[in-house]
Amino acid sequence: MASRRKILVAECEQEISSFNPLPSQYADFTILRGKALFEAHADADTCIRGCLDVLGARQDFELVPVYGASACSAGPLSPGGFDRLSREFLEAIAMATKPDVAAVYLSMHGAMGAVSELDPEGYLLEHVRTCVGPDIPIVVSLDLHGLLTDRMLANCDAIAVYHTYPHNDFTSTGQRAARLLEAILDRGARPVMARVFIPALVRGPELITASGLYGKVIDRAKAMESGGGAMSAAVLIGNPFTDAPELGSQSLVVTDNDPEKAGRLAMELAEAFWADHGKMLADLVPLPEAIADAAGRPGPVTFTDAADAPSSGASGDSNRILADLVRSGYRGRAILPIVDAPAARRAHEAGTGARLRVPLGGTIDPGRFPPLELEVEVERLGDGEYRHEVSRMPAHAGPTAVLRHGNIRIVVVTHPVFMMDRAIFLAHGLDPEQADIIVVKSPGAAVRYFTFACRNYVLDIPGATSANLGSLGHRVCPRPMFPLDDDVVFQPRVQLYPRLGTAA
Ligand SMILES: [Zn+2]
């Protein structure tokens, strides 16, 4: 029997906000080596899981778990952190690369950023390409919030991109990436990639793919994949908070050795997106107005604090809603999460049932969030180990505490974690359905995961991931850029990336 062909599988994922003042560190990453990588993903809803579903069943392939690094979104990775992470990642790839390696699959996000390297994914791909050589296919999966760079596109063969926002196609995107590899390895497909850069940063409800205008464009991309001759098609909207030289929206189409078609379809997607981009703006409600309106409703309602979304790279230590609820004398039952390591430590020292006066919030970004001193009761303590409800991936929030101030319950976590679904509340004994106001620190999760809420308010408050993009202070991304500048002109241009390999 012929020996099984080895496919290297690795992961490096983080999404950052350049406007978060706290750099993230190597220690913020969960590192998985060898078979621990596959064990962690086997039962999860992730791209690697999708890859395992498709390729793991094949007798002629051997999937090799190489290295996984993933972290909650945060500030840009520190120089030392990126040095170590990239060195470990590339050493692991080099160790696993043997003459019988047939392909590489990399699960990436696309919106990483390091203080010392504005294109980490491009850096990694360039070095993986150097390591495995020009003939070994490299297929990547990306978040639609990823930034595509010239260096990334020049150093991989094909890319599969999420088609849903809020994201619910992690596994199927990994499956699509795996099928790209099958097309190359089984049928000798020769991918050519075309991209069109679109000078727009977008936010708001029209991005919800199930109902919004962006979804209509994605539907066209999906049709191109299912019967239109594209191996992969997508529109990436980038992460508006990753201020980098190629930040923007981009269409991407991969065809089998048909550059003309790839370019034509990428142009079609880009023009369709541009036609509606002006409507892809957040509709933000002033916080005092939301509190007053919520006070007159039976609840529960959700307060979307997209400006402080750890899942987008914000610090998570915003106390703005808390401060306004207290100041306004709001009497309903409110639950909200906050990152505050010193407050969690003090609560653990004091013990359950203790009453104490603590500053809350602003431990990371005091410029935006002056600490708020509050009298609280420690209702519950935890170790911060639980599973996210939707992805079923573990959360490592560090020591946690539920602090009560009147009818407000504050879930204090030590480390930033995704604050998207109900898990952060349920894991701490709080049932969101019993609350009047639920603070959801995520741009789009409230309407998806808190469907029992009678209203969602998307708030205009400060934060490192504010949908009020003009408030952030971009300095690196291309200009002019919608909506940072007026009268932006779209001059579409197709860039082609044919496969570098020599296989014919
Ligand atoms: Zn995303």
Angle (deg, nearest 10), helices 320-328 and 287-295: 50
Question: What is the Å distance from ligand 1's center to 292 Cα?
Answer: 32
The answer as to whether 478 is a domain residue is no
The CATH number covering residue 42 comes to: 3.40.50.2300
Question: What is the Å distance from ligand 1's center to 165 Cα?
Answer: 7
Question: Other C-beta atoms within 10 Å of 283: how many?
Answer: 11
Q: Are 267 and 294 found together in one domain?
A: no
| CB-based contact 230:254 (threshold 8 Å) | yes
Residue 503, pLDDT score: 42
Q: Are 190 and 312 found together in one domain?
A: no
Q: Are 321 and 267 found together in one domain?
A: no
Question: What is the Å distance from ligand 1's center to 42 Cα?
Answer: 21
Q: Are 418 and 460 found together in one domain?
A: yes
> Which residues place a Cβ less than 5 A from the ion ligand 1?
143, 145
Q: Are 264 and 364 found together in one domain?
A: no
Question: What is the Å distance from ligand 1's center to 391 Cα?
Answer: 13
pLDDT tens for the 504 residues of the chain, in order: 567 999 999 999 999 999 999 999 999 999 999 999 999 999 899 999 999 999 999 999 999 999 999 998 899 999 999 999 999 999 999 999 988 899 999 999 999 999 999 999 999 999 999 999 999 999 999 999 999 999 999 999 999 999 999 899 999 999 999 999 999 999 999 999 999 999 999 998 899 999 999 999 999 999 999 998 999 999 999 999 999 999 999 999 999 999 999 999 999 999 999 999 999 998 899 999 999 999 999 889 999 999 999 988 899 999 999 999 999 999 999 999 999 999 999 999 999 999 999 999 999 999 999 999 999 999 999 999 999 998 888 899 999 999 999 999 999 999 989 999 999 999 999 999 999 999 999 988 898 899 999 999 999 999 999 999 999 999 999 999 999 999 999 999 999 998 755 443
**Cα 218 from Cα 161, distance rounded (Å):** 11
Question: Other C-beta atoms within 10 Å of 100: how many?
Answer: 10
The answer as to whether 224 is a domain residue is yes
| CB-based contact 104:132 (threshold 8 Å) | yes
Question: What is the Å distance from ligand 1's center to 22 Cα?
Answer: 21
Residue 391, pLDDT score: 83
Q: Are 274 and 292 found together in one domain?
A: no
The answer as to whether 484 is a domain residue is no
The answer as to whether 436 is a domain residue is yes
Question: What is the Å distance from ligand 1's center to 77 Cα?
Answer: 18
Count of domains in the chain?
2
Cis omega (within 30 of 0) on the bond before 300?
Answer: yes
Q: Are 428 and 370 found together in one domain?
A: yes
**Cα 504 from Cα 485, distance rounded (Å):** 46
Question: What is the Å distance from ligand 1's center to 283 Cα?
Answer: 20
Residue 228, pLDDT score: 84
Question: What is the Å distance from ligand 1's center to 78 Cα?
Answer: 22
* Residue 462: domain span: 287-467
Of the candidates 429, 468, 174, the one whose C-alpha atom is nearest the C-alpha of residue 308 is: 468
Angle (deg, nearest 10), helices 170-187 and 47-55: 40
Question: Other C-beta atoms within 10 Å of 374: how many?
Answer: 21
Question: What is the Å distance from ligand 1's center to 377 Cα?
Answer: 36
Question: What is the Å distance from ligand 1's center to 117 Cα?
Answer: 21
**Cα 330 from Cα 336, distance rounded (Å):** 14
Q: Are 419 and 450 found together in one domain?
A: yes
Question: Other C-beta atoms within 10 Å of 353: how many?
Answer: 9
Question: What is the Å distance from ligand 1's center to 100 Cα?
Answer: 34
**In angstroms, how far apart are the furthest CA atoms of the chain?**
75
| CB-based contact 220:279 (threshold 8 Å) | no
Q: Which residue has the tokens 């260096």?
A: 151
Structure tokens at 374: 């509050």
**Cα 399 from Cα 404, distance rounded (Å):** 17
The answer as to whether 477 is a domain residue is no
Query: What predicted TM-score, i.e. pTM, was given to this entire model?
Result: 0.88
**Cα 32 from Cα 458, distance rounded (Å):** 36
Q: Are 293 and 266 found together in one domain?
A: no
Question: What is the Å distance from ligand 1's center to 46 Cα?
Answer: 13
| CB-based contact 33:92 (threshold 8 Å) | yes
Question: What is the Å distance from ligand 1's center to 348 Cα?
Answer: 34
**Cα 301 from Cα 456, distance rounded (Å):** 6
Question: What is the Å distance from ligand 1's center to 351 Cα?
Answer: 38
Question: What is the Å distance from ligand 1's center to 167 Cα?
Answer: 7
**Cα 491 from Cα 190, distance rounded (Å):** 29
**Cα 139 from Cα 281, distance rounded (Å):** 32
The answer as to whether 75 is a domain residue is yes
Q: Are 338 and 192 found together in one domain?
A: no
Question: Other C-beta atoms within 10 Å of 485: how many?
Answer: 11
Question: What is the Å distance from ligand 1's center to 63 Cα?
Answer: 26
The answer as to whether 391 is a domain residue is yes
User: What SS3 class is residue 434?
Assistant: helix
Question: What is the Å distance from ligand 1's center to 109 Cα?
Answer: 8
Q: Is the dihedral of CA 63, 16, 397, 78 positive or negative?
A: positive
Question: What is the Å distance from ligand 1's center to 15 Cα?
Answer: 8
Model confidence pLDDT, tens digit, residues 212-254: 999 999 999 999 999 989 999 999 999 999 999 999 999 999 9
- The b/e string for 313-342 (b: 16+ C-beta within 10 A; e otherwise) is bbbbbbbbbbbbbbeeebebbbbbbbbbbe
Length of the chain: 504
Question: What is the Å distance from ligand 1's center to 274 Cα?
Answer: 20
Question: What is the Å distance from ligand 1's center to 143 Cα?
Answer: 5
The answer as to whether 485 is a domain residue is no
Question: What is the Å distance from ligand 1's center to 145 Cα?
Answer: 5
Distance of CA 266 to the CA centre of its chain: 23
Q: Are 166 and 198 found together in one domain?
A: yes
Q: Are 272 and 348 found together in one domain?
A: no
Structure tokens at 57: 């069943």
Structure tokens at 98: 């043997």
